[in-house]
Each structure stands twice: as structure tokens, then as C-alpha cells.
């Protein structure tokens, strides 16, 4: 059995979630799930493995070659560990969308794997909160997804100083690339990749590469300069009018978001011409949630609206909108804004232990009664030393200790001790000590 070379550390880019780490993750997941359910979303899940064709059909060769964990199974099928949830979602929705009343509101929190060089905020394995609405007419779907995202962040204690939703419109960007700059589809692809990199490569380099797309045409140059100068909801409509760009979906969104009933949502929205999500299948609004911390100014979450996700299954077009929010980037966000509560201690409420052998036979009876009253407890079985009991309790963070066989406690009684203020009472073992515990846990 022994193997001295066996590492105790996790596989590169993956995490060991010890209880203190798992409590953080559970807190994130419970918040995701609570908010999604509040908005009428239903939870789903799918397989860990999918045939490689599913990802090839959606994302093309590039992502597959560079980033996916794929292998040939024993039945000679090439399969992949899911790098994202959307293709699985599309496959599942393609099975049922004709039989159920729309819209579908679905969410999931799957574990995903991508072959990345591990770095801050990016690991090979992460979990991702996915929400999608299928067939909710634009621009209501956009509004609802934004409301849900804002509510998730608010639940974590974040406000307008911490995050913003940066959005753009593929309808607008696709239109200006095709109809105004007259780019071919290969050129558009390179153009979108350049825009995707704009925040990384610096203003000067970006501008240089960008102006190449104007091909020396000064009208196109000033158009591009005007476009990338856009930085607010208010600046967008005059730009669209000036250049007579046709983007009816964006226009109806801009009209709706101005209404009084969305006044709570609007302050979180920032128009951002550099969001394109070019490698993806989006056709309508696209967006990213940005961390506004000056030292961690990066995207946490991306999404958008799509017209034809089911096309790969030869299904008729069914529009939708969705996003993915990863647990690693979100945890970094909460930590940098000091919004993450302390999860270093367990939530187990009570410890039951005995200082002598004779009294230890009461331990299971007391533990049973606590559990029957929905009070969580650890037990230390048999006879224990005081030091061991208090060490164990300090480490796990119990709120109370029930101690049997303490020499200062009368025969036939137990001691109920609050760890916070070290106060205690004694009660007959066959008496109503459960009431003392309940009161103590509340105070």
C-alpha cells in the first residue's frame, strides 16, 4: 500500500475544499439558489461528459484544441469533460421545448474543467452559476436577467461602489462591422478578438491596431473613435441616430430601461463598447459584470442573448438569454471588498462529553434528544479529559457544551455551558435541560 512518491496535494489547478473552504462555497451556492428560486428559476443538471461533437458544433475548433479535457472512451467515442454548461443546456432544452409552456427559467451550478494555466481567479476546475431564460421576448429577458444578477450581488452585500454590469449589443456591433466597416466574416472575427483584448493591451496599441480597420478612410476613423468614446447609456442613443444604425432590439431595451419601474436597476448598467464576447453565439445584448475595485478591475461574469442556440440540433430558432458566474472569481471579488463572512468555525451547535466512564452512558441519550429537537451536536464518546473537550470545542466553535460527570456538578445532573461568556447552569439529567440549551442558543 505504501508509496512514498504519492503527493498529498491536489491535481494542478484544482482545489481541495476543506470544511472551512466548503462552507464558503456552500454560502455562495445557497445564495445563488435562493435568488434564482425567488425569480422562478428551476434547477437542472446534466452529465459530466459530453461527446466532443457538441462542443465542436457550438464553439468551433479553437476552444476545443486549446482548452478542453477530451479523451477517447472504451467504446471509441471522443468525449469531453464539460468546460461550460451552455451546450448541455441547449441539448436538454432541445428535447423538451416543444412540450412545455414557455418561458423556461433554468439554473444550474455545475463543476466545469478547462485546461488553463492556473492563475489568480482562473483554475482548471471551477463551479459556475448558470441562469438562462428561453423564449422570453426581448427586451424583458434582458431586464429580468439584469435584475437577478443585481439581486445576487446585493445579497452578498455588494452595492454600486463594488460592481457594475457593462453591456453592449451584438446587433449594434455586428451591424457596424458588416454594414459600416464592410468587414468580411474573417475580418469581423479578428476585429472582435482585438476588441476583446482592448482592456489588456493598452490604449495606444489598441488604437493603432483599431485604425487599421478604417483602411485610411477618415470617416471610418472618426466613426471608430466616436464609437469607442461611448461610455454611458445616455451617449448611446445620439450615436445610433447620428450614424443611422439599425438596431431595433437595442433601441427597445434603451426605451424600456428609462421607465420609472426600472429606476432601481438602471444605476447598475454601464454601456461599454469594448464588450463583444466575439467567440460566442450571442446575437443580442452581451454583458459582463465588472469588479470596480481599483486593484481588481476585471470581469466576474459574462452572458448575453442568443437567437438560435438550438440550431445545432436542427430545431427551429428559440431565443434566450443567460449568464455564467464562476465561484473562484466571485470569491476573489467578495474577499477584495471584505464582503465574505468568517467561515473558519463549523456550525455545529453543541458538544456533548463526559468526564467519567459512568456518566458517559448518558451521551447517546442526550445526543438523541438534541437531534430530535433539530439541534446539531458532536459527541466525544467515553471518558474524556477537560483539556481535550475544550480544545475540540474551541476548534469546531460549538456554542454550548453539555458536560457530564463534572466533579462540581451534583450527582444526576449535567452542566450546560455557553462557550461565548463561559456562563453555565446545571440541570437534572432527566429534567428539562433541553429548554436551557434552546434558550442558550438563542441568546
Name the residue among 317, 418, 434 with its Cα closest to residue 367.
434
The rounded distance, in Å, linking the Cα atoms of 194 and 439 is: 62
Q: Output the smallest distance, CB 310 to a second copy, in A.
A: 9
Contact flag: residue 218 with a second copy (CB under 8 A): no
- The answer to whether 369 touches 379, Cβ cutoff 8 Å, is no
Q: What is the DSSP string of 384-439?
A: --HHHHHHHHHHHT-SEEEEES-TTSPTTEEEEEETTT--EEEEETTSSHHHHHHH
Residues 9-38 that bind a second copy (CB under 8 A): 9-12, 14-19, 22-23, 25-26, 37-38
Angle of the 218-229 helix axis to the 203-211 helix axis, nearest 10: 140
Contact flag: residue 98 with a second copy (CB under 8 A): no
Name the residue among 148, 133, 140 with its Cα closest to residue 255.
140
3-class DSSP assignment, residue 366: helix
Residues 240-269 that bind a second copy (CB under 8 A): 259, 261-262, 264
Angle of the 86-96 helix axis to the 52-59 helix axis, nearest 10: 100
In the list 202, 267, 382, 428, the residue contacting a second copy (rule: CB under 8 A) is 382
> Cβ closer to a second copy: 63 or 336?
63
> Cβ closer to a second copy: 43 or 423?
43
Q: Output the smallest distance, CB 146 to a second copy, in A.
A: 11
Q: Output the smallest distance, CB 152 to a second copy, in A.
A: 12
Contact flag: residue 295 with a second copy (CB under 8 A): no
Q: Output the smallest distance, CB 123 to a second copy, in A.
A: 10
In the list 50, 171, 272, 327, the residue contacting a second copy (rule: CB under 8 A) is 50
Contact flag: residue 46 with a second copy (CB under 8 A): yes
Residues 129-168 that bind a second copy (CB under 8 A): 136-137, 140, 143-144, 147, 151
Indicate the DSSP class of residue 119. B
Q: Which residues are within 8 A (CB) of 99 and not within 5 positions of it... i.e. 6 or more apart?
A: none
In the list 182, 208, 395, 420, the residue contacting a second copy (rule: CB under 8 A) is 395
Residues 411-430 that bind a second copy (CB under 8 A): none
Q: Which three cell numbers stand for residue 317?
A: 430558432
Q: Output the smallest distance, CB 277 to a second copy, in A.
A: 16
Which of left, alpha, beta for 219 (phi over 0: left; psi -120 to 50: alpha)? alpha
**Binding flags for a second copy, 108-127, as an x/- string (CB under 8 A):** ---x-x-x---------x--
Which range of residues in 77-85, 287-295, 405-413, 435-443 is near a second copy by CB under 8 A?
77-85
**Binding flags for a second copy, 330-369, as an x/- string (CB under 8 A):** ----------------xxx------------xx-xx--x-
- The answer to whether 115 touches 124, Cβ cutoff 8 Å, is yes
User: Phi and psi of 297, rounded to 5°?
Assistant: -75, 90
Which range of residues in 88-96, 159-167, 237-245, 296-304 is near a second copy by CB under 8 A?
88-96
| C-alpha dihedral sign at 193, 199, 201, 203 | positive
> Cβ closer to a second copy: 261 or 295?
261
- Site size for a second copy, by CB under 8 A? 104
Q: Output the smallest distance, CB 377 to a second copy, in A.
A: 6
Indicate the DSSP class of residue 216. T
Residue 152 CB neighbours (<10 A): 24
Name the residue among 131, 141, 128 with its Cα closest to residue 107.
131
Contact flag: residue 192 with a second copy (CB under 8 A): no
> Cβ closer to a second copy: 242 or 347?
347
Q: Output the smallest distance, CB 3 to a second copy, in A.
A: 5
Amino acid at each position: 500500500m505504501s508509496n512514498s512518491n504519492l503527493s498529498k496535494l491536489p491535481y494542478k489547478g484544482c482545489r481541495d475544499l476543506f470544511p472551512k473552504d466548503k462552507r464558503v462555497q456552500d454560502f455562495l451556492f445557497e445564495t445563488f439558489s435562493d435568488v434564482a428560486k425567488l425569480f422562478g428559476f428551476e434547477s437542472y443538471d446534466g452529465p459530466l461528459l459530453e461527446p466532443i461533437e457538441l462542443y465542436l458544433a457550438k464553439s468551433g475548433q479553437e476552444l476545443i484544441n486549446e482548452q478542453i479535457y477530451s479523451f477517447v472512451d472504451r467504446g471509441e467515442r471522443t468525449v469531453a469533460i464539460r468546460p461550460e454548461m451552455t451546450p448541455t443546456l441547449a441539448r436538454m432544452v432541445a428535447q423538451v421545448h416543444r412540450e412545455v409552456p414557455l418561458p423556461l427559467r433554468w439554473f444550474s451550478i455545475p463543476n466545469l474543467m478547462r485546461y488553463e494555466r492556473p492563475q489568480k481567479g482562473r483554475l482548471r476546475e471551477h463551479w459556475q452559476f448558470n441562469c438562462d431564460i428561453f423564449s422570453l421576448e426581448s427586451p424583458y429577458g434582458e431586464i429580468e436577467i439584469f435584475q437577478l444578477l443585481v439581486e445576487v450581488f446585493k445579497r452578498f452585500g455588494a452595492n454600486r461602489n463594488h460592481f457594475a454590469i457593462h453591456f453592449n449589443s451584438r446587433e449594434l456591433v455586428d451591424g457596424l462591422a458588416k454594414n459600416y466597416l464592410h468587414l468580411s466574416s474573417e475580418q469581423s472575427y479578428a476585429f472582435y478578438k482585438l476588441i476583446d483584448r482592448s482592456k489588456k493591451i493598452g490604449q495606444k496599441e489598441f488604437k493603432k491596431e483599431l485604425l487599421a480597420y478604417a483602411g485610411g478612410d477618415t470617416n471610418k476613423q472618426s466613426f471608430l473613435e466616436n464609437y469607442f468614446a461611448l461610455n454611458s447609456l445616455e451617449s448611446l442613443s445620439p450615436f445610433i441616430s447620428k450614424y443611422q444604425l439599425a438596431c431595433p432590439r437595442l433601441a427597445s431595451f434603451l426605451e424600456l430601461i428609462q421607465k420609472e419601474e426600472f429606476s432601481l436597476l438602471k444605476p447598475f448598467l454601464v454601456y461599454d463598447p469594448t464588450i463583444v464576447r466575439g467567440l460566442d453565439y450571442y446575437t443580442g445584448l452581451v454583458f459582463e459584470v465588472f469588479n470596480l475595485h481599483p486593484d481588481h478591475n476585471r470581469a466576474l461574469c459574462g452572458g448575453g442573448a442568443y437567437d438560435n442556440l438550438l440550431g445545432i440540433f436542427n430545431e427551429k430558432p428559440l431565443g434566450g438569454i443567460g449568464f455564467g458566474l464562476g465561484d473562484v472569481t466571485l470569491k476573489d471579488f467578495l474577499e477584495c471588498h471584505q464582503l465574505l463572512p468568517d467561515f473558519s468555525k463549523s456550525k455545529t451547535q453543541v458538544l456533548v462529553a463526559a468526564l467519567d466512564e459512568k456518566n458517559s452512558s448518558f451521551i447517546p441519550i442526550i445526543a438523541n434528544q438534541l437531534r430530535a429537537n433539530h439541534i446539531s451536536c458532536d459527541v466525544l464518546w467515553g471518558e474524556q479529559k477537560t483539556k481535550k473537550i475544550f480544545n475540540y470545542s474551541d476548534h469546531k466553535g460549538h456554542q454550548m457544551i453539555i458536560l457530564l460527570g463534572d466533579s462540581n456538578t451534583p450527582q444526576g445532573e449535567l452542566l450546560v455551558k455557553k462557550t461565548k461568556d463561559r456562563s453555565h447552569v446545571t440541570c437534572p439529567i432527566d429534567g428539562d435541560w433541553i429548554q436551557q440549551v434552546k434558550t442558550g442558543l438563542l441568546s
